[in-house]
Structure 1
Amino acid sequence: MSIEEFISTFSKEWPIVKRAPRSVIMLVCAASALAFAVTRYLDSVELSSAKALVELKDAMIADYKDKLSGATPIEAKKRIDALETKLKLLDVRRLSPAQISAITNKLKNQKGNLDIAQDMGSPQLRGLVADFSVAANNAGWTTSQSELMGLRDFPPSGVSLVVNDSSALSPTETVVKAALEAAGVPFDVVNGSGLKLVLTVKSE
């Protein structure tokens, strides 16, 4: 959220807020400022440690709720829900060593090229992109990484296996599908142009 968006949103809410008691007005102002600060911070920070990210997420939610305890306005509650939703998107997903080995062992049956793309709006997926790249590279595959903008309708699994025709998979597409299954990685097969893995947040 930019400063302009923050000011615009708060201005629209002000006619309602100003009719409330002074204590509630102060509470809403504090909640608005805190939500803006947290959003700005989360948009700019890149955390490499999953443990640190989880601790940060829990601490922010706890602190936010503590400041809004008592007579919390309805609008403040909505802000809490929005913050929790945003923090859920920061959950880090990685492949385990066993999953990486399982993918590598399956891909060794055939050499190929694999593009691994991620939603540009989800920087927390970079570790997962790296894991898939390592698994494929260890099998002798050539990989490339890219970021995509404007993705919509995220699949429940958060992993899309894009193929040319799901009803008639090519040998290369078949082995990638088998590798994901062998590793126990949930995924959705999607018809598109060219073989690639697209990583997004989960829709569920």
Structure 2
Amino acid sequence: MNDPIQFLKDNWAVVIEAPWVFVTMVVIIGGGGVAVGRTWLNRTISNLKSDIATLENRHIAKDERIAEYQSKLNGATPDEARSLISGLERRLAALEPRNLDPEQSRILSTHLVKKPGSIKLIRDMGSSESSKIYAQFGTLLRKLGWDLMEGGVMGLGNPPPTGIAVQSHAGEMLTEDAKTLIAALRAADIEYDIQKTPEMGMPGQPLTSLLFATRSN
């Protein structure tokens, strides 16, 4: 019954013969439509209320989870939390021996083998952190043909913040060996400091040193 008017025209004779039957059918059909519509509306409202309740519960759970995390971090903000975690990682790293990973060793070898020089390795004897990386550099430089001297000191007056210092004993100029070391360290993504000192007047002593100590940054 797509067109009600056409339906009435086609069946007008029947309607005239039984008008009350027709009216009753209209009421029943109309009432049924209202009932169906009301049922659909009630179901829709119920579903919406359920969705709202679910979202509210999720929001409450999210707030509770955030509060739990903040409580565990003593109420620290995300920036403060990152700072605390970074500080803990630095403290942990300071307790563990520093070392070269395989990729760093490979990169250092690629650069240092090109121009072997003369160098003195120095370690702060009070630094347990630097013992392993000091030994690794010694092994690596010997293997690559560098002329190597080794020594130790106690009580550094000017320790490098990064724990590694390229020392150039030629005044304000950098020695060629220092430049080679700096390029290799930079390529291997190893932090370092540069320390320049007056030219050493001791015969046989290299004009470039590599100092290892405990990191302070």
Q: TM-score, normalised on structure 1?
A: 0.53
> How many angstroms does 1:142 deviate by?
2.3
Equivalent residue, structure 2, for 1:109: 114
Distance 2:147 2:112 in 1: 11
> 2:196 matched to which residue of 1?
191
Q: What is the CA–CA distance in structure 2 between the aligned matches of 1:135 and 1:108, rounded to whole Å? A: 10
Which consecutive aligned stretches of 4+ in structure 1 deviate over 4 angstroms post-superposition?
85-89
Aligned to 1:176, which of 172, 178, 181? 181
Ranges in structure 2 where 5+ consecutive residues have no aligned partner: 1-89, 201-206
**Candidates 123, 135, 142, aligned match of 2:147:** 142
Specify which of 192, 200, 204 is matched with residue 213 of structure 2: 200
Structure 1 residue 155 displacement after superposition: 2.0
Q: Is the 8 A contact 2:175 2:208 kept in 1?
A: no
Counterpart-to-counterpart distance in 2, 1:90 and 1:116: 22
Post-superposition CA distance 1:151-199 (Å, at most 9, x none): 0332221101000247432222211111111111100000124211111
C-alpha distance in structure 2 between counterparts of 1:143 and 1:115, whole Å? 6
Measure the CA separation in 1 of the matches of 2:116 and 2:177.
8
- 2-side partners of 1:115 and 1:90: how far apart? 26
| Partner SS for 1:128 | helix
Distance in 2, matches of 1:94 and 1:112, equals 23
Would the aligned equivalents of 1:157 and 1:203 in 2 still touch at CA under 8 Å?
A: yes
Secondary structure of 1:123 counterpart: coil
Distance (Å, rounded) in 2 between the aligned partners of 1:145 and 1:158: 17
1:203 shift after superposition: 1.7
Alignment RMSD (CA, Å) = 2.3
Larger Cα-atom Rg: 2
Q: Distance in 2 between matches of 1:163 and 1:144?
A: 15
Shift of residue 107, structure 1, vs aligned partner:
1.2
